[in-house]
C-alpha cells in the first residue's frame, strides 16, 4: 500500500513553514491563547499569524481576517473556531496556499449527533477536495520536536526536541499523560500527535510516516477504533520492516469500554480479543495499562526486546529473589537452572559452593568488587539457558559514594562492547526520578531501568509474546490457497443471496455444514430428508444409531424446543422421533417452515470443542477455538487468531486453552486427534479469508475430536452471512 501521499501530508503537518492561528484570542486560559503561547515558548522558527475577522490587532501585531492579506502564503492552519465555520475556512486556506491544518473544533458527529454527522461529512469532503494534511477534529494539538513546532494546549512545561519515541492517539488526554510519564523517566517523545476523530489523517498514516523517521525507535499508539484495518496492517508492517517497535493501548476490554469509545469518537470499537489476534501478526505489543506501556517503552527504547522467556538475574536480597520467582510464574517466564559451567564459574567467583542458584544472590560476594560483579554478569551472559539478564539496582536520585553510578556505567560499557544478551536493571518498587537520576539516565542509553518486579516481568513477557505471535503470523502469511471451482461457485451464490437481504442471513444447519465441508472441515455421515420414509432409508444407509434434527434457517436453538432426537437405534425409533419433533414444535409455538430433517450418525466419545469465525466490526474476521459445552459463555476458554492460520498458529491457539491440554491426554486420560483439530482450524482460516466480505459469523459447536488417529467431526454448525 502506497503511503507516499499521506507521508507528505504528515510532514507538512509536523514541519510547517508558518502557522496561522484561526480563531486567535488573547483571553487568558483559552485554547487559542495557550497555542499562541506554546508556538512562541518553544521557539517555532516560522512566522505565527493571528487570524480573527473581529480583531485588527492581537499580541501587539496585526490580526488578519483574510488569508489573502497575510504577508506570505499560509502554510499550517491552527483552527479553533466553531464547527460550522471549519469546512469553508479550510477551503479558503487551502486556496490561499495552506498545506496542512490542526482542527481543534468538535461537533462533527463524535457523539452520534445526527445534525453534527452532516457537518462531519462536509468536513471530510472539504479535506478530500483540498488535499490538506489534517489532524483532528476534536483534538488537542501536536508536538513536533525536530521542528520546534508545538500546538499542544498543555499549560505545564514541555521539553520538545529530538527523541526516540513517537506518540499518536485519538485521545489528547492520554497523549498528555503518556508524554508526562515518559518525561519523568527521562524518555523524550520527539513527536506527539493527537489525531482526534481522524477526518483526515489517521493512525495508519502517522505510523507509516514515523516508520521512515530515523530517530524514532518506538511508536506508541492509543486507539479507540481503527477506520481502515487494511491500511493499518500495511503501516505496521512497514514500521516493523524498518525496525520500529509498536506499542498499543486499546479500548475494548469490556462492553462499557467499547461503549465509551463509541460515545467519544464515533468509532465502533471492536473486541480486544479480535484486536489482539490482528495485532499479534503485526508484532504490536499491546499494553493493558498506561503504566505497563511506560515500562514496555523503557525496555524497548534502551535495551531492546528479550530473546525469549528465560531469565537470569543477580539480586541484592533473598526476599527479592522470591518476588522475582513469583512474578516469573505469574507471567509465563522462568529462571532456568544454570549450565554446569556457569554454576562452576560463579562458585569460583563467589566462593559460596552450593548456595549459587538463579537468580544469583548478590549478597554472597557479587557486590564486594567491580571485578566480581562484572565476572558474574559475564557468566550469565555466556549461559545458553539464559535469554535476558536482570540486575537489581536503581538509578541514584542523589549523589552517593559512587558504587551505584560506577556499576551502572560499568554495565553501559559492557553492553556496548561485549554483551551478547539484553541486560536491564530492575527495582523492587515503582518510584519517581530526580534531575540527578535523569542525568545519569542520559549517560547510559543502552540499559533500561525497570520498576517493580511484577510490572517489569509483565513487560518482558508482553514483548516476548509479541515476538512469538509475529513469527507465527509471518509464517502463516506464506501459505498459498487457491479456490477450487466448487468454492468459487459457493462464494458467488452467497454473494447473490446476500444482496437480496438487508439483514444478516442465517444459513440452515445443512447449508452451513456443506459450506464448511467445501473448505475442509470434516463432517460425519448425514443426509437432508423431507419425509419419515426417507429418514428411515437414510438411517439404514448411514448405520444406526442416528440423530434426527429439524432443519430451518430461523430455528437457531433446536435443542431448546425439542427439535433434536438422539440415539435412534432402529426404523421405528426414527419414525417416532419424527413425530415427536413435530409435536414439540407445535407445543412451543414454533411456526417456522422446516427445510427438512437431518439424519446424522450418532457420535460416540471424543472431546467437544468449539470452532468459529467472528467478523469483528473493526478489524475483520478472526478464527476462534476453545473448550466447548454449555459453560462456554461463562468460562470463555477460547483463543483467537487472524487468518490465515498455519499449522503452528493453530497449535499455538490450542495451547492457549484448556482444550489444548486435554487433547494431549490430561492426567493419564486419552489422547485425542490433535492433527484433525489443527486441520479444521486451518480450514476455517481459509474460509475466513475467502469469505471475509461475506461471512458475519460461523459457529461450529460442538466439534468433536475423536481419540488419536480417528479424526474429528462437526456435529452442528451455523453460518451467518451479510
Q: What is the CATH number of the domain that holds 638?
A: 3.30.470.20
Contacts of 41 by beta carbon, 8 Å cutoff, 6+ apart: 150
Taking 60 as the threshold, does the pLDDT of residue 111 lie above it? no
- Within a domain: 489: no
- Within a domain: 83: yes
Q: Over range 63-84, report the average pLDDT.
A: 97
**Are 283 and 321 members of one domain?**
no
Q: Last residue of some domain: 300, 333, 362?
A: 300
Q: Over range 488-493, report the average pLDDT.
A: 94
Give the integer Cα–Cα distance in Å for 39 and 77: 13
Q: Over range 171-200, report the average pLDDT.
A: 95
β-strand partners of 320? none
Q: How many helices, marked H, and strands, marked E, lie in the chain?
A: 24, 30
**Are 95 and 212 members of one domain?**
yes
564-568 and 505-506 strand pairing: unpaired
**Are 161 and 19 members of one domain?**
yes
**Are 588 and 614 members of one domain?**
no
β-strand partners of 218? 165, 245
Instruction: Using alpha carbons only, give the angle 430, 310, 405 rounded to the nearest 5 degrees.
Output: 45
**Are 78 and 129 members of one domain?**
yes
- Within a domain: 482: no
Query: Using one digit for the tens of pLDDT, what is the confidence trace for 265-280?
Result: 333 335 888 999 999 9
**Are 160 and 177 members of one domain?**
yes
**Are 131 and 144 members of one domain?**
yes
- Within a domain: 501: no
Of all residues in the chain, the percent with pLDDT exceeding 90 is 79
Query: Using one digit for the tens of pLDDT, what is the confidence trace for 24-36?
Result: 999 999 999 999 9
Using 50, 70 and 90 to split pLDDT, how confident is the model at 555? confident
Q: Highest mean pLDDT range out of 229-233, 397-401, 628-632?
A: 229-233
Which helix (H) or strand (E) covers residue 512, if one does?
A: helix 509-518
Alpha helices in 185-254 (DSSP H): 203-210, 229-241
Whole-number average pLDDT of the chain: 92
What pLDDT does 349 receive? Answer: 83
Q: Last residue of some domain: 543, 570, 601?
A: 601
Q: How close are the terminal C-alpha atoms of the chain, in Å? A: 27
Give the integer Cα–Cα distance in Å for 21 and 31: 11
Using 50, 70 and 90 to split pLDDT, how confident is the model at 318? confident
Instruction: Using alpha carbons only, give the angle 205, 209, 213 rounded to the nearest 5 degrees.
Output: 165
Task: Quote the pTM value.
Answer: 0.93
717-721 and 695-705 strand pairing: antiparallel
**Are 313 and 258 members of one domain?**
no
Domain count, the chain: 4
Query: Using one digit for the tens of pLDDT, what is the confidence trace for 341-376?
Result: 998 888 888 776 556 789 988 765 666 788 888 999
Give the integer Cα–Cα distance in Å for 46 and 634: 59
CATH (domain of 20): 3.40.50.720
- Within a domain: 517: no
- Within a domain: 490: no
What pLDDT does 268 receive? Answer: 35
Looking at residue 592, what DSSP letter applies? P
Q: Over range 53-77, report the average pLDDT.
A: 96
CATH (domain of 367): 3.40.50.261
The strand ranges marked E within 505-644 are: 505-506, 526-529, 546-551, 564-568, 596-601, 607-616, 620-627, 638-642
Give the up-direction half-sphere exposure of residue 46: CA atoms within 13 A in the CB hemisphere. 23
With cell 560499557, the residue in question is: 413
**Are 295 and 314 members of one domain?**
no
**Are 457 and 357 members of one domain?**
yes
- Give the CA radius of gyration of the chain: 31
Q: Last residue of some domain: 551, 582, 601?
A: 601
Give the integer Cα–Cα distance in Å for 498 and 255: 29
CATH (domain of 555): 3.30.1490.20
- Within a domain: 496: no
Q: What residues make up the domain containing 680?
A: 607-721
**Are 89 and 208 members of one domain?**
yes
**Are 327 and 257 members of one domain?**
no
- Within a domain: 214: yes
Amino acid at each position: 500500500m502506497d503511503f507516499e501521499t499521506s507521508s507528505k501530508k504528515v510532514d507538512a503537518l509536523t514541519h510547517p513553514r508558518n502557522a496561522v492561528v484561526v480563531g486567535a484570542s488573547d483571553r487568558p486560559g483559552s485554547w487559542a491563547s495557550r497555542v499562541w503561547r506554546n508556538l512562541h515558548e518553544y521557539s517555532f522558527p516560522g512566522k505565527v499569524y493571528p487570524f480573527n475577522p473581529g480583531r485588527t490587532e492581537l499580541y501587539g501585531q496585526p490580526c488578519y481576517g483574510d488569508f489573502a492579506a497575510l504577508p506570505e502564503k499560509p502554510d499550517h492552519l491552527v483552527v479553533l473556531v466553531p464547527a460550522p465555520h471549519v469546512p469553508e475556512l479550510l477551503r479558503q486556506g487551502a486556496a490561499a496556499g495552506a498545506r496542512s491544518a490542526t482542527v481543534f473544533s468538535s461537533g462533527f458527529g463524535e457523539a452520534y449527533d445526527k445534525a453534527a454527522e452532516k457537518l462531519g461529512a462536509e468536513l471530510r469532503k472539504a479535506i478530500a477536495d483540498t488535499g490538506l494534511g489534517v489532524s483532528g477534529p476534536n483534538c488537542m494539538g501536536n508536538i513536533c520536536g525536530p521542528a520546534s513546532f508545538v500546538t499542544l494546549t498543555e499549560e505545564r512545561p514541555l521539553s520538545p526536541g529530538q527523541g526516540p519515541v513517537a506518540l499518536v492517539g485519538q485521545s489528547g488526554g492520554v497523549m498528555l499523560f503518556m508524554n508526562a510519564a515518559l518525561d519523568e523517566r527521562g524518555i523524550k517523545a520527539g513527536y506527539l500527535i493527537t489525531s482526534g476523530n481522524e477526518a483526515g489523517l489517521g493512525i495508519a498514516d502517522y505510523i507509516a510516516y514515523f516508520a521512515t523517521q530515523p530517530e524514532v525507535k518506538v511508536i506508541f499508539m492509543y486507539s479507540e477504533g481503527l477506520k481502515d484495518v487494511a491500511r493499518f496492517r500495511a503501516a505496521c508492517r512497514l514500521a516493523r520492516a524498518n525496525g520500529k517497535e509498536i506499542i498499543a493501548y486499546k479500548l475494548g476490554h469490556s462492553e462499557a469500554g467499547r461503549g465509551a469509545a463509541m460515545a467519544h469518537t464515533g468509532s465502533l470499537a471492536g473486541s480486544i480479543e479480535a484486536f489482539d489476534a490482528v495485532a499479534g501478526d503485526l508484532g504490536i505489543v499491546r499494553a493493558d495499562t498506561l503504566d505497563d506501556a511506560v515500562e514496555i517503552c523503557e525496555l524497548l527504547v534502551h535495551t531492546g526486546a528479550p530473546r525469549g522467556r528465560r531469565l537470569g538475574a543477580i539480586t541484592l536480597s533473598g526476599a527479592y529473589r522470591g518476588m522475582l520467582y513469583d512474578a516469573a510464574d505469574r507471567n509465563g517466564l522462568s529462571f532456568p537452572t544454570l549450565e554446569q559451567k556457569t554454576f562452576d564459574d560463579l562458585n569460583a567467583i563467589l566462593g559460596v559452593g552450593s548456595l549459587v542458584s538463579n537468580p544469583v544472590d548478590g549478597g554472597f560476594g557479587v557486590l564486594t568488587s567491580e571485578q566480581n560483579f562484572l565476572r558474574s554478569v559475564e557468566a550469565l551472559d555466556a549461559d545458553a539457558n539464559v535469554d535476558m539478564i536482570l540486575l537489581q539496582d536503581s538509578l541514584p536520585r542523589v549523589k552517593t559514594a559512587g558504587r551505584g553510578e560506577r556499576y551502572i556505567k560499568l554495565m553501559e560499557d559492557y553492553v556496548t562492547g561485549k554483551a551478547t544478551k539484553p541486560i536491564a536493571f530492575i527495582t523492587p518498587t515503582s518510584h519517581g526520578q530526580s534531575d540527578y537520576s535523569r542525568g545519569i539516565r542520559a549517560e547510559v542509553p543502552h540499559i533500561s531501568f525497570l520498576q517493580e518486579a511484577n510490572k517489569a516481568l509483565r513487560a518482558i513477557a508482553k514483548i516476548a509474546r509479541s515476538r512469538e505471535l509475529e513469527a507465527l503470523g509471518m509464517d502463516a502469511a506464506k501459505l498459498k490457497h487457491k479456490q477450487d471451482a466448487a468454492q468459487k461457485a459457493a462464494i458467488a451464490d452467497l454473494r447473490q443471496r446476500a444482496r437480496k437481504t438487508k439483514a444478516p442471513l442465517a444459513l440452515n444447519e445443512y447449508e452451513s455444514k456443506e459450506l464448511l465441508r467445501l473448505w475442509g472441515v470434516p463432517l460425519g455421515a448425514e443426509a437432508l430428508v423431507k419425509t419419515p420414509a426417507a429418514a428411515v432409508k437414510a438411517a439404514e444407509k448411514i448405520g444406526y444409531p442416528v440423530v434426527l434434527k429439524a432443519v430451518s434457517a430461523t430455528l437457531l436453538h433446536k435443542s431448546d424446543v425439542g427439535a433434536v432426537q438422539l440415539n435412534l437405534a432402529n426404523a421405528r425409533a426414527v419414525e417416532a422421533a419424527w413425530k415427536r419433533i413435530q409435536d414439540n414444535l407445535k407445543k412451543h409455538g414454533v411456526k417456522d417452515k422446516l427445510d427438512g430433517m437431518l439424519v446424522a450418525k450418532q457420535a460416540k466419545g471424543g472431546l467437544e470443542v468449539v470452532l468459529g469465525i467472528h467478523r469483528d466490526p473493526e478489524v475483520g474476521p478472526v478464527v476462534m477455538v476453545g473448550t466447548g459445552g454449555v459453560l462456554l459463555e461463562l468460562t470463555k476458554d477460547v483463543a483467537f487468531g487472524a487468518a490465515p492460520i498455519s499449522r503452528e498458529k493453530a497449535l499455538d491457539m490450542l495451547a492457549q486453552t484448556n482444550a489444548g491440554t486435554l487433547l494431549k491426554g490430561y492426567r493419564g486420560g486419552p489422547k485425542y486427534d490433535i492433527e484433525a483439530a489443527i486441520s479444521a482450524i486451518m480450514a476455517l482460516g481459509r474460509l475466513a479469508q475467502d469469505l471475509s466480505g461475506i461471512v458475519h459469523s460461523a459457529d461450529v459447536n460442538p466439534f468433536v475430536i475423536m481419540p488419536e488417529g480417528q479424526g474429528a467431526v462437526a456435529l452442528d454448525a451455523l453460518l451467518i452471512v451479510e
